[in-house]
Structure 1
Amino acid sequence: MRWWLLAVAAALSGATGVARAQGVDPLDARLETRDAERFAQLWHDSDGAPDAPALQRNYLDGASDGVAVFTPHRIESAANLAAAIAAEPEIYRDAVERCLPWAAQTSDELRATYLGFHGLLPETELPRVSLVVGANNSGGTAAPGMQVLGLEVICRLSSDEQQFRDIMRRFYAHETVHTWQDIDYDSLGPVASGIANILAEGTADYLAWLVTGRVPDPARDAWARQHEDFVWGEFAKDVAAYHDPSLNDAGRRAIARRWTGNAGHPPEGWPSELGYWVGMRIAEGYVANSGDRHAAIRELLTLDDPMAIVQASGLANRIAPTAR
């Protein structure tokens, strides 16, 4: 588990005085909108121009667990949030006036998604889901027992209500998987850790595909299948580069950024977050080739040996070298 998730888990169970969620009944699942509604009230009260002190006092202070999860690396601070709002106020106006009323109506999508997960992995605890307003830099993240979605980003991606509902369901499914993942990156070598990061995102997309019946990001999927030889060739080249003992941490981060963490800023000519697609295909192959598909899916949530997963996926010949 990444270090910042440990910090968030501690906050949820200690500093906030709220214990980790014990699991949501899929039939009772609902989107928690309190934080987004508090932001909307502040937006209206400030005529669409809340400053940092007002955001701190009337939004960040007294917020729910969702804002606590979303603050590190996303909201960051009241000053950062105020700057994001001032830079693109129309994005926030659209989120408050157009998409927030839609969001409140997506509990049907959430319940359907959770019923699918309950059938697939009945022993897992389903997380709470919180809707917040962030600094226009993230559509969603997860911590143990909770997933948190960024209203302004999802709204920005949505041209109409149906697309908004579809994207919300995709996020519900993808981020749920992240709440279950418990990956010890520190115990993996640099190559295996890089593969594990790709597989973590790909597994979330693969399981989202299973429970929703729709491939996440169909446009990315279509592009990648049309350019499949190119994609695997570029990925194999970067895996080989990771094996270079002279490669430093900055070099590894630059390679990783070609595949994940580049939403809106991918390599020229590529769709965003192409590593999600690579990881999804590896996860799909691993489960398809397994004698026990349910056990294989559970193994994808821990990734104790990501290189073994690559080897068993049927795609190892496209991702050489795969040595540790």
Structure 2
Amino acid sequence: MPKPLRSMVLLAALAAPVFAHAQPQRGPEIRIDDVTRFYALYDATGGHPTVEQIQNDYLAKGTQSLSEFAAARRVTAQRIAEQLASDPAMYENAKQCLTALPAVKRRLVATFRKLSSLYPQARFPPVAIVVGRGKPVGITNPAGVTIGLEALCSADVMNPNREDRFVHVIAHEYAHIQQRAPTDFEKGDPNATVLRLAMAEGVAELIAQITSGNVANARHAEWTRGKEAQIEGRFVREMDGTDLSDWFFNYRKGSDEPYDLGYWVGYRIAKSYYLRADDRKAALKRLIELDDPKAFLAQSGWTPGMQLPASADGGD
């Protein structure tokens, strides 16, 4: 089959609707208009679209999700063109993740159905897949979840399996949609303590595991094995501070050093509470709606270095 025809067939398959609107399959629309339009332009220009083409044929014609993503994370045509020039492999490799999207969408049907059954109050704004400037992996706001295809596709340090990576990361980000307490803070905000951020991200990791089968960052388990007491003892000493640098957003490109360990500690605190609960559905509701991390910590049953089962249902 000629290459242009293969691309057209692929894009058509990706654009096919997957989610039914009828109950009980509650779930969001998953938008891929932007990513398919970008790669149509990418293929038509041999992988070298100009700044003007990126602006006129991609960004200017974008969905609301792309517009909000671009505004929030300073994604411009110039920046995309510069990233394409400096790291062309990132965008070429991301085409491989295009082929995983239909399977991702099918698996997310079950993920969102489970979220809806466990938390009937769940809201389902859209999930959008877009192309950006290599970062961020995604953003979450009340309007929905937006994922940068090229950024998440290259984040194999989180999980080597592309399909799993997309499913679990989207499940994590969608948990943030449900949370009541703020999860996004300006730099220097005194409310942005290590504990508060750990609980926000840790609860999202637990919900991802419960609904999709695993946490977003599968590497934390191996990085922390045998070091639980050491890591969590330090966490207790630093949890009331606002210096997040050792616990969050500290991945260094090309490094295999552990990062974002605050996610992992928060996940274990949330998991300790969830597994001890007689009514896990009620426990999940409280986790989603918690707004006093310090009080919750005291009631969670968590202690530094405690042993916890690997799965969210209590099994090994």
TM-score (norm 2): 0.78
Q: How far apart are residue 207 of structure 1 and its match?
A: 0.6
1:257 match: 245
Q: Moved runs in structure 1, 4+ residues, more than 4 A?
A: 22-25, 27-30
- Listed one character per residue, the Cα deviations across residues 190-210 of structure 1 (whole Å, up to 9, x for unaligned) are 367432211111111001111
Task: Tell me whether 1:151 sits opposite 2:149 in the alignment.
Answer: yes
Tell me if 1:168 matches 2:166: yes
Report how far residue 309 of structure 1 moved.
1.1
CA-CA distance at 1:174 after TM superposition? 0.5
Structure having the higher helix fraction is 1
8 Å contact kept, 2:196–2:293: yes
SS at 2:239 equivalent: helix
Alignment of 1:266-277 (within 5 A): 270-277=257-264
* Equivalent position of 1:108 in the other structure: 106
Q: C-alpha displacement at 1:289, in angstroms?
A: 3.8
Aligned to 2:280: 293
Change (3 A) 1:197 1:28: closer
Q: From the superposition, tell whether residues 239 and 194 of structure 1 become closer, same or farther in structure 2 (CA, over 3 Å).
A: closer
Identity fraction in percent:
29
Please state whether the residue corresponding to 2:247 is helix, strand or coil.
coil
Secondary structure in 2 matching 1:256 = coil
Residue 303 of structure 1 aligns with which residue? 290
Task: Report matched runs for 1:137-216 at 5 Å.
Answer: 137-158=135-156, 163-184=161-182, 190=190, 193-216=193-216
Q: Is the 8 A contact 1:23 1:125 kept in 2?
A: no
How does 1:86-125 map onto structure 2 within 5 Å? Answer: 86-96=85-95, 98-125=96-123
**CA deviation profile, 1:142-188 (whole Å, cap 9, x unmatched):** 122421111112222359x99111111102211110111232478xx
Matches of 1:288 and 1:130, distance apart in 2: 33
Using the TM superposition, name which of 289-298 and 149-158 deviates more.
289-298
8 Å contact from structure 1 (residues 142, 175) kept in 2: yes
Asked if the contact 2:123–2:177 (Cα under 8 Å) also holds between the matched residues in 1, the reply is: no
Separation (CA, whole Å) in 2 of partners of 1:66 and 1:52: 21
Q: Aligned partners of 1:296 and 1:28: how far apart in 2?
A: 22
Structure 2 match to 1:67: 66
Report the Cα distance in structure 2 between the residues aligned to 1:166 and 1:90, rounded to whole angstroms: 21
String of CA shifts for 1:210-239, please: whole Å, max 9, x gaps.
112324433211222321122112212323
The alpha-carbon deviation at position 39 of structure 1 amounts to 0.7
| Pairwise CA distance, 1:277 | 0.5
In the aligned structure 2, how far is the partner of 1:273 from the partner of 1:94?
Answer: 25
What residue ranges of structure 2 are gaps of 5+ in the alignment? 1-20, 306-316
Structure 2 CA distance for partners of 1:299 and 1:29, relative to 1, 3 Å: closer
Match of 2:56 in 1: 57
CA distance in 1, matches of 2:281, 2:93: 42
Q: Which amino acid aligns with 1:272?
A: Y
C-alpha change, 1:24 and 1:150, in structure 2 (3 Å) is farther
- AA in 2 matched with 1:303: L
Please report the TM-score for the alignment, with normalisation by the length of structure 1: 0.76
Q: Is the 8 A contact 1:66 1:148 kept in 2?
A: yes
Retained in 1: the 8 A contact 2:194–2:262? no
Q: Name the SS of the counterpart of 1:148 in structure 2.
A: strand
1:295 is aligned with what amino acid?
A
Say if 1:162 and 1:229 are closer, same or farther in 2 by CA, change over 3 A.
Answer: closer
- C-alpha displacement at 1:278, in angstroms? 0.7
Closer, same or farther: CA 24–162 of 1 in aligned 2, 3 Å: farther
Q: How far has the Cα of 1:94 moved from its partner? A: 1.6
Q: 1:194 to 1:69 in 2, by over 3 A?
A: farther
1:224 corresponds to which residue? 224
Paired residues of 1:203 and 1:283 also in contact (CA < 8 A): yes
For residues 85 and 301 of structure 1, what CA distance do their matches in structure 2 show? 39
Q: Which amino acid aligns with 1:220?
A: H
CA RMSD of aligned residues (A): 3.0
Partner secondary structure for residue 197 of structure 2:
helix
Q: Any conservation in 2 of the 1:23–1:126 contact (CA below 8 Å)? A: no
| Letter in structure 1 aligned against 2:34 | D
